[in-house]
């Protein structure tokens, strides 16, 4: 008997984006823009940094399981404490959802080339993982509804979606929801919620307070706290109660919780982050359009580019790397002919556009 089940052996470990120091060394560069992981180019929320400093002295004590942040979120979103969970990033909560709700015969249903973190978590549980192709780079909600069967247990929807950057509207979701039995749990991943929330087509998911929907959000993106690992979720109290049984008792860490609580008050930082991202998205869209490069209009903090083949996508990624711009080739997501560029600082975005021009000139075959 092998020690490791076949469904684990066949997985490829998550490969994080390339690190700045490593790329500097490899290509003899002094300046590198990391536009590969949808991070906040302004750094962490300054208020969150203050809170982290303040809590350093109490690190000898165990944290309280996220209770303080849950209280703050419940108040802010007008919910009861029982409807709120927090964890080590939204992926930490996702991992707990997989452990809490899936049995061996259950199936997971989502779009093809979904967010890689979810793909890995679901596949590592060894259950059937079913997908439906994108429709013009959007979730095919009708297609998903038609694929629900007696074994479907979890449906994963990211809105905005990573890596395409597209959204679905409340109307589209409602039409889909009618086909979802109550015994099926919908994970609504809103990691990029803040970037899309002002778009009139984007639904306020607080109107989705159905008993079988769990909304996940994160401090990793707009609040610049990816490194500290803090995320949150809203759901029916029974779902939350069961997740709390499975969650590691001391997650999130003291520093993560303190950072999250203070970051929520940092409206100025949120505003600056949104403005910077909007400028970045505009610049990338205009420049890519001007260069005749196919891309998907984005509602998040990144843009997906479509090349003709994996070879072309690889070449463009490597050429940009040589010029000191790290982007994400999307082979691991299941889109080998695509790549994704996150927005950076104004200067990085400008540099990225210049590098793209040169790279395209160098890679035209």
Ligand X SMILES: Cc1ncc(COP(=O)(O)O)c(C=O)c1O
What is the helix (H) or strand (E) element at residue 71, kind and residue range? helix 67-76
Residues 209-268 within binding reach of ligand X (CB under 6 A)? 218, 220, 226, 231
- Yes or no: say if 191 and 162 are a contact pair by the CB < 8 Å rule: yes
Out of 18, 38, 164, 228, the only residue in the binding site for ligand X (CB under 6 A) is 38
Q: Which is nearer to ligand X, 223 or 295 (CB)?
A: 223
Out of 95, 113, 162, 343, the only residue in the binding site for ligand X (CB under 6 A) is 162
C-alpha to C-alpha distance for 253 and 328, rounded to whole angstroms:
29
- As measured in angstroms, the least distance from the Cβ of 102 to ligand X is 18
Q: Which is nearer to ligand X, 14 or 27 (CB)?
A: 14
Q: Which is nearer to ligand X, 90 or 273 (CB)?
A: 90
Answer yes or no whether residue 45 interacts with ligand X by CB under 6 A: no
- As measured in angstroms, the least distance from the Cβ of 140 to ligand X is 18
C-alpha to C-alpha distance for 301 and 344, rounded to whole angstroms:
9
Answer yes or no whether residue 117 interacts with ligand X by CB under 6 A: yes
Task: Report the SS3 class of residue 264.
Answer: coil
Half-sphere exposure of 73 (CA within 13 A, CB side): 28
Out of 32, 154, 191, 263, the only residue in the binding site for ligand X (CB under 6 A) is 191
Q: Which is nearer to ligand X, 44 or 89 (CB)?
A: 89
- As measured in angstroms, the least distance from the Cβ of 161 to ligand X is 7
Token couple for 222:
């707009």
Residue from 108, 129, 123, 154 nearest 6 by CA: 123
Out of 33, 66, 69, 91, the only residue in the binding site for ligand X (CB under 6 A) is 91
- Yes or no: say if 260 and 86 are a contact pair by the CB < 8 Å rule: yes
What is the helix (H) or strand (E) element at residue 155, kind and residue range? strand 152-158
Answer yes or no whether residue 33 interacts with ligand X by CB under 6 A: no
- As measured in angstroms, the least distance from the Cβ of 259 to ligand X is 13
- The residue number whose beta carbon is nearest to ligand X equals 89
- Quick one: CA dihedral 26, 27, 31, 33, positive or negative? negative
- As measured in angstroms, the least distance from the Cβ of 41 to ligand X is 15
Out of 83, 90, 110, 113, the only residue in the binding site for ligand X (CB under 6 A) is 90
- As measured in angstroms, the least distance from the Cβ of 24 to ligand X is 23
Map tokens 């100025």 to a residue: 268
Biggest distance spanned by C-alpha atoms of the chain: 60
- As measured in angstroms, the least distance from the Cβ of 354 to ligand X is 26
Answer yes or no whether residue 329 interacts with ligand X by CB under 6 A: no
Residues in the chain: 365
Range in contact with ligand X (rule: CB under 6 A) among 1-9, 24-32, 86-94, 175-183: 86-94
Answer yes or no whether residue 176 interacts with ligand X by CB under 6 A: no
Answer yes or no whether residue 158 interacts with ligand X by CB under 6 A: yes
- Yes or no: say if 122 and 267 are a contact pair by the CB < 8 Å rule: no
Residues that contact ligand X, how many (by CB under 6 A): 14
Provide φ and ψ at 69, rounded to 5°.
-70, -35
Answer yes or no whether residue 115 interacts with ligand X by CB under 6 A: yes
**Cα dihedral 65→162→99→204 (10° resolution):** 60
Beta strands at 84-87 and 128-132: parallel, antiparallel or unpaired: unpaired
Site for ligand X, rule CB under 6 A: 38, 89-91, 115, 117, 158, 162, 189, 191, 218, 220, 226, 231
């Amino acid at each position: 008997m092998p020690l490791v089940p076949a469904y684990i052996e066949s997985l490829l470990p998550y490969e994080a984006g390339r690190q700045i120091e490593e790329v500097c060394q490899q290509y003899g560069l002094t300046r590198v823009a990391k536009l590969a992981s949808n991070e906040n180019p302004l750094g962490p929320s300054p208020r969150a940094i203050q809170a982290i400093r303040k809590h350093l002295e109490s690190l000898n004590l165990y944290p309280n399981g996220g209770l303080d942040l849950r209280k703050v979120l419940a108040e802010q979103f007008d919910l009861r404490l029982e409807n709120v969970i927090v964890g080590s990033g939204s992926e930490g909560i996702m991992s707990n959802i997989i452990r809490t709700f899936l049995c061996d015969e259950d199936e997971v249903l989502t779009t093809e080339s979904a967010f890689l973190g979810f793909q890995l978590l679901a596949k590592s549980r060894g259950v059937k993982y079913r997908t439906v192709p994108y429709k013009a780079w959007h979730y095919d909600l009708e297609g998903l509804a038609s694929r629900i069967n007696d074994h479907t247990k979890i449906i994963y929807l990211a809105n905005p979606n990573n890596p395409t950057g597209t959204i679905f509207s409340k109307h589209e979701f409602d039409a889909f929801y009618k086909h979802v039995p109550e015994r099926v749990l919908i994970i609504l991943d809103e990691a990029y919620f803040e970037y899309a929330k002002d778009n009139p087509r984007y639904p306020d998911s607080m109107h989705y307070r159905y008993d079988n929907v769990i909304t996940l959000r994160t401090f990793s993106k707009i609040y610049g706290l990816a490194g500290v690992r803090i995320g949150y979720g809203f759901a029916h109290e029974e779902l939350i109660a069961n997740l709390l049984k499975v969650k590691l008792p001391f997650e999130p860490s003291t520093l993560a919780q303190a950072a999250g609580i203070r970051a929520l008050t940092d409206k100025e930082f949120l505003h600056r982050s949104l403005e910077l991202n909007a400028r970045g998205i505009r610049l990338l869209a205009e420049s890519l359009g001007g260069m005749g490069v196919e891309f998907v209009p984005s509602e998040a903090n990144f843009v997906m580019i479509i090349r003709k083949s994996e070879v072309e996508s690889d070449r463009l990624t490597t050429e940009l790397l040589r010029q000191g711009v790290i982007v994400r080739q999307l082979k691991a997501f299941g889109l080998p002919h695509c790549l994704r560029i996150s927005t950076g600082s104004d200067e990085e975005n400008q540099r990225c556009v210049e590098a793209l021009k040169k790279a395209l000139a160098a890679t035209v075959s």
